[in-house]
Structure 1
């Protein structure tokens, strides 16, 4: 019972108290006096979920009754993190639930900590999808997100003896109170088999294997709780899970092979693809969720609107990268084979339905599949791809394209063992193709899609990425949020553009001190997290220099590590210099088969071990690699960061969204003019960001024409000293040659221009230290970063998609 006088308790609190206790008793089957934190988490979640469901039903009814066009967002990843705190914030219930639980002698923060991060994504692609789902709900744009319900996600990252190890992420082992299994919403997805011709001449695919897709729905509640959309994830089941005769005859393993094969589809995100079996599983995943999602859209459309010919008027499908690109061929199969439309009409509807977001400028990162694999696994889809390609090439030839151009724009790459270019398929099959930053979109037109842009002019457009401020400021940094509200008023909570009202306070010494004080609170909290997780004690007054993102050579964590070694060498060589205390903080996962990225993780940990145990640097430099990076860890790190490392090779990062999250929270960026860094620098001002290194054009030329890293090393004593220390075993004394191959490889073929940008990066880091040494200058820049990044709200991005690509109107929000 509530421990305060009834006269002091708001009626709403009494009602919520009763609801939570009833959920605890009747849904969790726990007794109040013996309930643990997990029990209270379940009871609280179920009570909050009840508040969402009524609105969810009303929103779904409004879509049906009013005939509203709906966005269908197809993505292999939805990195949604924990949902309870997000839902409480969007519903405006955080303080109320905290009071009610306190009356039950339960701590809300402990309850929130019981929820595992949903293991449905890996990095920026999945977090972008999550931010977009939040914004579509907050803006009242009818939408449904489609993906896969991964049982184990990517993996849980452990670091043992400095090395990444992967173990399953068992986030569903205790159940998920947010999801609803829709046992009546199932679809059969075929693989293999053959294509037959019926008596009437109609082609029919006869699959050799069928897997059942079962829907699991999660409500996505928007700001103020006024609109709720749906995240629908598919779980794979065998249609014949157990061959009983084989089981009874003693073949207990063989009897379950069909089940194991089917359910592997929804086990793990991005299974290793360095083997034929791994490639096949990835393709099975992509087709499985694309087919189930399209079947679901069509069934719902026919039920609500009757006429398949109006599909593009009522549904807009966004392909988030190339993973769902096979959906272009699948929709054509459904329209032509199942709904018996003429090819040209089906193609008109299909192209009007699809739009495609590209996320990479690296040709090797654009998916392609071997033609023999496609022909074996998806024979009818492969026929359709050939038909799409034939008509596409005929049209290009009619417009004057020569053989070289036709080869470049063909859906079939004939030069690398015959492969289906999935980026080309998504491009040809969509009415709009968008990049995710101004620089990226411009480069798309001249690099990866240069030839397609020639034969399909006007199709490429830009939609610079954004982030949801509700998660990355209000939820992640409540102290700074309260300071902002106290300073410029509560309207900023609904209108991020109001952040610009902070600009006059950037030079206000009192406000700077309050801003810095909030950062200090966040840093103290992160210090505790680091101590608990890896046993490293950081100085909360040091400059927190942070790089948290997927480990990849183009993101250049290695460049950051080289600077760390340079700092270490310099501090020991010049002990009397006035060094700025600095904490280098890293986090991120490497793909299990990406050996070079995993070696970089090991180097970071080896450098940390040596630096952190060396008394000669007097604690001025600490290095921390935090394992198992996820959304929840990011929410602890980002509010505490002073310096945001966005140091990818210019021209290779499509956008980035971590750069936006850091800037929103007042961290200063050190980065190349790459991705959205360009637009961030334009908005915060070049005086409030640290730009270094080659720009995209010169970097591209250098990478194309060849670059002599050995000459760069010979010309730089700083660089040569760092590489010599690493190569000679200073950081791996038990195995002196551990990093010799890494250094030799870097000098032989520095594809990502780490050595080319090293000296410029070190100079920029010196400017960082100088600025940090002048607190008034630093905090002025920090405030201006927060004040000037409102444009990077995902609400703005989604409004642009809705108006210019999807042609979807928002529902009225009451």
Structure 2
């Protein structure tokens, strides 16, 4: 009976992963999930170690490395110390030293709200013994900071247990051997801005490990036709040594190669059209340029900016200003967190834009908007090989890295994006001439952030921007009386209690974004020249293999 009850309890905890954390019940379940998976993993690691080495834990850090992937699994630090102390008889100092040598922390965001924090009362009620361990780590941190001459103010700004909150990222940085970012720009921002105070204390602990993708799935499996052409041109072996793709560069001016590449791209677009017809019931022509943005729905990723750009094009067509615009399909795929109201409002807005432009006689043959349902990896494997333009338009400085940008690059799409995350390194590899970069840079945003007044400086002075933004509230669209569109409008023009107006600088970047998008679409009309840009992206994608990423982790962090 006991085992059966345990199984039932385990099923109840993990039945719905990542529950809505907008309620006390949801937050409690999420913490239980995190602890459940972490504790099971840590106990398994210790069991395996003891089976081989017995009770002597002096070699533990030489045998195991725990990579804490973002802040969600960082409770592993306290759990490992708890087991070492209460089950294996080690002192706190002995346990902490082992854990600090064993764990490494990968940061995946510069956004403060995404650096996980837990309410003390909730945490203590769910895992009280682990909370006691965290208090010990916090006391040890205070003593350490005091020993190196930190002031009371400096110490208080770094406490793991601060007021009514437990800061998991602070524990991860202090109790790990290394902290790494996932793109060079992201790591630089961590070191010199977001985690600057920690970097000044532990400069040797910070490293960069630019993300990567597996070419076996994201080219070999999802585009076998292109894979076959690549193998024909440079031989086998590139699947496990992606740097060999550089050998494709010498074929960029070979007419037969580029024509065959164009034919393959056409085939993938035809396959996607058939898939969308089957799953969405929407007719789509492969003669259109395919402009695709697929990723998690978040305000900083700026799917709303993309939708605004489509409305700007719509208005220009209605005003007879774009008579020779390349017919373009704007394809979105995204999911929103259960409690993220604004993200759901953006999804609703994009679908309203789709209804308008897809059914207007003046635009339906030039613009098509599709928000695919239930976007997932299987859908991505159809979308990415068919893309002509990859939308990577996050606010500069907020995208840690991204991997979708790499997948699109590997499959021969140009990047339309900001100078952010791994986009920076994509441009470095493929060349400015083969990408379409727009928008305020990190340093420009930092310079205007304090005095930014989008309503006075942009909205009230720019009729083009105003016309587009007003579609949220002027009756152009219906949000079903939810008030979501009004909330989005206010977030841009008036701000909210927790942020300033236009917190993600959509109004700043809108005109430049549309102009850059139009440049890409007019370039697309010369298919041969545009396809050469796409080919150079494939040939320059070698750096972005996950094999390189894992090798760097293994050699530089795990010491394998």
Structure 1 length as normaliser, TM-score? 0.66
Q: Work out the CA distance in 1 between the residues paired with 2:100 and 2:115.
A: 20
Query: Residue 637 of structure 1: CA displacement?
Result: 0.1
Structure 2 CA distance for partners of 1:618 and 1:378, relative to 1, 3 Å: closer
| 1:778 and 2:530 are equivalent in the alignment | yes
**Any idea what SS the aligned residue of 2:412 has?**
coil
Structure 2 CA distance for partners of 1:704 and 1:262, relative to 1, 3 Å: farther
Query: Residue 503 of structure 1: CA displacement?
Result: 0.5
Other-structure match for 2:227 = 481
Q: Work out the CA distance in 2 between the residues paired with 1:781 and 1:381.
A: 54
1:395 to 124, 144, 161: 144
Query: Residue 747 of structure 1: CA displacement?
Result: 1.2
Q: Work out the CA distance in 2 between the residues paired with 1:364 and 1:240.
A: 39
Query: Residue 686 of structure 1: CA displacement?
Result: 0.6
**Any idea what SS the aligned residue of 2:416 has?**
strand
Other-structure match for 1:630 = 376
Structure 2 CA distance for partners of 1:727 and 1:736, relative to 1, 3 Å: farther
2:20 to 257, 266, 272: 272
Q: Work out the CA distance in 1 between the residues paired with 2:181 and 2:481.
A: 45
Give the structure with the higher percent helix: 2
Q: Work out the CA distance in 2 between the residues paired with 1:705 and 1:492.
A: 50
Q: Check conservation: 1:500, 1:788, Cα contact below 8 A.
A: yes
Q: Work out the CA distance in 1 between the residues paired with 2:482 and 2:176.
A: 53
Query: Residue 241 of structure 1: CA displacement?
Result: 4.8
1:727 to 466, 473, 490: 473
Other-structure match for 2:126 = 377
Other-structure match for 2:242 = 496
Q: Check conservation: 2:240, 2:547, Cα contact below 8 A.
A: no
Q: Work out the CA distance in 2 between the residues paired with 1:386 and 1:284.
A: 19
Other-structure match for 2:497 = none
2:105 to 356, 379, 388: 356
Give the structure with the higher percent strand: 1
Query: Residue 341 of structure 1: CA displacement?
Result: 1.4
Other-structure match for 1:91 = none
Query: Residue 755 of structure 1: CA displacement?
Result: 0.8
Q: Which moved more, 1:365-374 or 1:739-748?
A: 739-748
Other-structure match for 1:644 = 390
Query: Residue 452 of structure 1: CA displacement?
Result: 1.7
Other-structure match for 1:796 = 548
Other-structure match for 1:686 = 432
| 1:755 and 2:501 are equivalent in the alignment | no
Query: Residue 679 of structure 1: CA displacement?
Result: 0.6
Q: Check conservation: 2:289, 2:327, Cα contact below 8 A.
A: yes
Would you identify which runs of 4 or more consecutive aligned residues in structure 1 move more than 6 Å? 733-738
Q: Check conservation: 1:506, 1:779, Cα contact below 8 A.
A: no
Q: Work out the CA distance in 2 between the residues paired with 1:351 and 1:528.
A: 53
Query: Residue 707 of structure 1: CA displacement?
Result: 3.3
Other-structure match for 1:28 = none
Task: Name the structure, 1 or 2, with higher relative contact order (CA <8 Å, separation 6+).
Answer: 2
**Any idea what SS the aligned residue of 2:65 has?**
strand
Query: Residue 558 of structure 1: CA displacement?
Result: 0.1
Q: Work out the CA distance in 2 between the residues paired with 1:452 and 1:323.
A: 20
Other-structure match for 2:273 = 527
Q: Check conservation: 2:472, 2:488, Cα contact below 8 A.
A: no
Q: Check conservation: 1:729, 1:735, Cα contact below 8 A.
A: no
Other-structure match for 2:319 = 573
Other-structure match for 2:518 = 766
2:11 to 256, 263, 272: 263
Q: Check conservation: 2:342, 2:487, Cα contact below 8 A.
A: no
Query: Residue 343 of structure 1: CA displacement?
Result: 2.3
**Any idea what SS the aligned residue of 1:447 has?**
helix
1:659 to 405, 417, 432: 405
Q: Work out the CA distance in 1 between the residues paired with 2:481 and 2:456.
A: 24
Q: Work out the CA distance in 2 between the residues paired with 1:651 and 1:704.
A: 16
Query: Residue 726 of structure 1: CA displacement?
Result: 3.7
| 1:410 and 2:152 are equivalent in the alignment | no
Query: Residue 429 of structure 1: CA displacement?
Result: 1.2
2:292 to 523, 546, 550: 546
Q: Check conservation: 2:391, 2:416, Cα contact below 8 A.
A: yes
| 1:344 and 2:90 are equivalent in the alignment | no
Query: Residue 734 of structure 1: CA displacement?
Result: 7.8
Other-structure match for 1:297 = 45
2:82 to 333, 341, 358: 333
Structure 2 CA distance for partners of 1:399 and 1:691, relative to 1, 3 Å: same
Other-structure match for 2:259 = 513
* RMSD of Structure 2 on Structure 1 (CA): 1.8
Other-structure match for 1:59 = none
Query: Residue 710 of structure 1: CA displacement?
Result: 4.3
1:510-547, CA deviations, whole angstroms, 9 ceiling, x for partnerless residues?
21111111000000010011111222111101110000
Q: Which moved more, 1:464-473 or 1:755-764?
A: 755-764
1:64-93, CA deviations, whole angstroms, 9 ceiling, x for partnerless residues?
xxxxxxxxxxxxxxxxxxxxxxxxxxxxxx
Query: Residue 342 of structure 1: CA displacement?
Result: 2.4
Other-structure match for 1:615 = 361
Structure 2 CA distance for partners of 1:327 and 1:493, relative to 1, 3 Å: closer
| 1:367 and 2:116 are equivalent in the alignment | yes
Query: Residue 736 of structure 1: CA displacement?
Result: 11
* Bigger radius of gyration: 1
Q: Which moved more, 1:591-600 or 1:702-711?
A: 702-711
Q: Work out the CA distance in 2 between the residues paired with 1:594 and 1:729.
A: 24
Structure 2 CA distance for partners of 1:715 and 1:773, relative to 1, 3 Å: farther
Structure 2 length as normaliser, TM-score? 0.95
Q: Work out the CA distance in 1 between the residues paired with 2:480 and 2:203.
A: 58
1:212-252, CA deviations, whole angstroms, 9 ceiling, x for partnerless residues?
xxxxxxxxxxxxxxxxxxxxxxxxxx94656xxxxxxxxxx
1:95-114, CA deviations, whole angstroms, 9 ceiling, x for partnerless residues?
xxxxxxxxxxxxxxxxxxxx
Query: Residue 509 of structure 1: CA displacement?
Result: 2.1
Structure 2 CA distance for partners of 1:601 and 1:310, relative to 1, 3 Å: same
Q: Check conservation: 2:357, 2:364, Cα contact below 8 A.
A: no
In the TM superposition, 1:288-327 aligns within 5 A as 288-306=36-54, 307-327=56-76
Query: Residue 260 of structure 1: CA displacement?
Result: 6.0
Q: Work out the CA distance in 1 between the residues paired with 2:81 and 2:150.
A: 26
1:315-337, CA deviations, whole angstroms, 9 ceiling, x for partnerless residues?
11111111110110111111111
